[in-house]
Chains A and B, each alone.
Chain A
Amino acid sequence: SAVISQKPSRDICQRGTSLTIQCQVDSQVTMMFWYRQQPGQSLTLIATANQGSEATYESGFVIDKFPISRPNLTFSTLTVSNMSPEDSSIYLCSVEGLAGVSYNEQFFGPGTRLTVL
């Protein structure tokens, strides 16, 4: 199966700053997604990262706060902008369209654990 990596694995940031999280897959995939998991909660989809075009955001998430890039079929970034303590969460990328598995089965990266002080 594919290897999905995220950087950084964890970070502690000051409020008002921004953090960019990277997601790298070792094979080309059709779809990439970003999810947020707030403390003690389930996962919520932030957006679909579209290759070569603007991301598609879910209700409650906006581009100014969570800008996303996807320059190619193996890489995406999520930026958490102007952070506040409420942004403290685990951020996970997921991919779909891996070879050898069902077309819409999703696999997740290891996550980035963000703490905002």
Chain B
Amino acid sequence: GIQVEQSPPDLILQEGANSTLRCNFSDSVNNLQWFHQNPWGQLINLFYIPSGTKQNGRLSATTVATERYSLLYISSSQTTDSGVYFCAVEVGGTSYGKLTFGQGTILTVHP
């Protein structure tokens, strides 16, 4: 099956700093999503981005499908950004609908 690798596994920042999270995947995908899991376990949709670039406030994401990676940028980080960030991909075909998750990046933002 497809492999999804996220880096770094852990990231500690001071409030106001910028960061880049990376997601590498081993096969072509027809879905790539970024999620933020808050301390209560809720998965929040950040981006649906199988290709291209999107921005939403302080967050932006870029997926280069031909090179099989995606980047999530967080600017001017806030303590509320703390939590786990997951990248998840779907290959399609017989794996239609099946999201394969990376191991996540644990982000801690200190005031």
Q: Tell me the minimal C-beta distance from B31 to chain A in angstroms.
A: 5
**A69 to B88 CA separation, bound complex (whole angstroms):** 25
Q: With A90-B41, A102-B48, A105-B45 given, is the CB distance from A42 to B30 under 8 Å?
A: no
Q: Which of A17-25, A76-84, A108-116 interfaces with chain B?
A: A108-116
Mostly helix, strand, loop or mixed at chain A's interface?
A: strand
Q: Tell me whether A42 and B41 are in contact (CB under 8 A).
A: no
- Cα separation A33 to B103 with both chains bound (whole Å): 19
Number of chain B interface residues as a range: 20 to 34
- Is the pair B48, A101 in contact by a Cβ cutoff of 8 Å? yes
A106 at the interface (CB under 8 A from B): yes
Instruction: Tell me whether A96 and B97 are in contact (CB under 8 A).
Output: yes
Q: B43 contacts which chain A residues (CB < 8 A)?
A: 43, 92, 108, 111
* Residues of A contacting B41 in the complex (Cβ-Cβ under 8 angstroms): 37, 90, 110-111, 113
Tell me the A residues contacting B by CB distance below 8 Å.
31, 33, 35, 37, 41-45, 48, 58, 90, 92, 94, 96, 101-102, 104-108, 110-111, 113
Taking A33-B99, A105-B31, A113-B41 as known contacts, 10 extra A-B pairs with beta carbons closer than 8 A to each other, sorted by chain A number, are: A33-B98, A37-B41, A43-B86, A44-B101, A101-B48, A104-B30, A104-B96, A104-B97, A108-B43, A110-B42
What are the 5 A-B residue pairs with the smallest beta carbon separation, nearest first? Answer: A108-B43, A105-B48, A42-B101, A43-B101, A111-B41
